[in-house]
Amino acid sequence: MNDKPTLEDLRNSIEQSLRVSYTAAPLIAGRQRGGDSQVVHSPADQRDGVGRVIEASVADVGEALAVAQAAFPAWEGTPASVRASLLDRAADLLQGRLPELVALIVREGGRTQADAVSEVREAIDFCRYYAAQAREKFSGPIPLPGPTGEQNSLSLHGRGVFVCISPWNFPLAIFVGQIAAALAAGNTVVAKPAEQTPLVAALAVELLHTAGIPAGALNFLPGDGRIGAALVADRACAGVAFTGSTEVARLIAQTLAGKDGPLVPLIAETGGQNTLIADSSALPEQIVRDVVASAFNSAGQRCSALRVLYIQADIADRVCELLAGAMQELCIGNPADIATDVGPVIDEAARALLVAHARWLDSFATPIFTCPLDEEATRHGTFFAPRAYEIDSIARLEREVFGPILHVVRWRAEDLDQVCAAIANTGYGLTLGIHSRIDETIKRITDRLHVGNTYVNRNIIGAVVGVQPFGGEGLSGTGPKAGGPHYLYRFASERTLSVDTTAAGGNAGLMALDEGE
């Protein structure tokens, strides 16, 4: 992002995007459905109509699932190496359209250009990583040990039709990652993107089909939560990959448990009351640098974003002073401007929740800093000023607040165990940061807190596919971790085969050695 020709290409792509009318519509067996459409507005500027969406009907759900179910035998029977090659081809197409995808993510999702570039790269990484995993694990039976005269093996197979429900905060990366994993494992897919960001999802589906993914193997149903609920409840649904709130994940689990038919796996990555614990051995400047990135990047709209900073009392005043100064330097505005550090929140409903939470904090918490908003730059979008408050306990926070609000809690050295207990009592286990130069303290915290992704002396965002597989536990998800070596197993059925080779003329004498022959 420091390369001038690259920045010029991105600027031109955003300008060209303004002249494109993007469309998202139900796509079943490769046929686009018509109907009444509505405008998709940019959260940065409601005057910007990014495109139009035709939302699916509940009637489309049954048809899409039936098409995907009919396509399953052929796709599951396609060699894993072929499925992998198609995903690699999709990665190439995503790379080739990177500037356009960045522009669309900026306009539709309100993400900054740097975040959008990282997101496209992550989508590419998901395709390539799951392709490699498919070649390694799905290409043929895995030999297992057994007695002489017997052959044993284990093979991995697709389960059927996977329903993939993705969020708006990573409208391309998570959407593509879920689909790529399901397809790599031999499943067919019906994908429902977040209702706020259907346009970039529709373009991703187009590229996957262009790469060679069969039309029946990947179907697309934009719409609201009713479409997702109908997909999950249908008997044809053989698995669900979901990223979103803990509350919705619980509803999905209840639906799956209550319906007739086979038991259906749920792969859920949900929210977190993510914390960072900093002791007095940590460098205040480094703490603040990583806290600002973790709490306010993407307007705090990351699953991994920092919600609560625990700072040891000995350095708390200094850190809070530096934090206020660093926040003062943040530029809040339209992410189409490369100078913007923090863009809008996704929609008016999200902003209203943040306003209500800030009003509640104002009634008792100690304000540290609230970023000023440029009225001219933000008046037409759903912007919310990043802010930080000091509170007395994490127990004040009953649930995750998804946006750029940081809560700061002071702690004393003798109270570290109580700090860990308070964090554990939230029930979440997604991301954790530790800033300390004392190995014993780091081990003490990591031994006590059961968290999916822990980061030491760095920020807590930006997990890299294959390097930091992402996903939590407890209220933060079911596992396994996206972008990790165990992820595809959850999308698969395992089958063993045991063959008595003596029945086909093998060495019967060896089989009978224990009988004295």
The residues assigned a catalytic role are 269, 303
Phi then psi for 256, rounded to 5 degrees?
A: -65, -40
Sign of CA dihedral 53, 333, 14, 97: negative
Question: Which string of DSSP letters, residue by residue, matches 69-86?
Answer: HHHHHHHHHS-HHHHHHH
- E-only strand ranges, 172-214: 188-192
Sign of CA dihedral 280, 285, 289, 292: positive
Pairing of strands 31-32, 27-28: antiparallel
CA-only gyration radius of the chain, Å: 25
Question: Which string of DSSP letters, residue by residue, matches 384-401?
Answer: ---EEEE-S-GGG--S--
Hey, is 162 helix, strand or coil?
strand
- E-only strand ranges, 104-149: 142-144
The tokens describing 505, both together, are 């003329």
Matching residue, tokens 């198609």: 86
Q: Say if CB 71 and CB 216 are below 8 A apart.
A: yes
Q: What angle do CA 434, 435, 438 make, to 5 degrees?
A: 100
Pairing of strands 387-390, 266-269: unpaired
Q: Which residues pair with 162 in a beta bridge?
A: 189, 239
The tokens describing 488, both together, are 């595809």
Matching residue, tokens 């614990």: 277
Q: Say if CB 319 and CB 357 are below 8 A apart.
A: no
Pairing of strands 161-165, 431-435: unpaired
* Amino acid found at 39: V
Rounded distance between C-alpha atoms, residue 464 and residue 466, angstroms: 6
Q: How many CB atoms lie within 10 A of CB 420?
A: 20
The tokens describing 494, both together, are 């395992």
* Amino acid found at 75: W
Q: Say if CB 178 and CB 123 are below 8 A apart.
A: no
The DSSP code for 33 is: P
Rounded distance between C-alpha atoms, residue 50 and residue 140, angstroms: 45
- Long-range own/partner contacts, residues 206-212 (CB < 8 A, 24 or more apart): 207/90, 207/93, 207/94, 207/97, 208/90, 208/176, 208/179, 209/30, 210/93, 211/86, 211/87, 211/89, 211/90, 211/92, 211/93, 212/86, 212/89
Q: Say if CB 136 and CB 165 are below 8 A apart.
A: no
The tokens describing 201, both together, are 């999802």
Q: What angle do CA 26, 193, 237 make, to 5 degrees?
A: 80
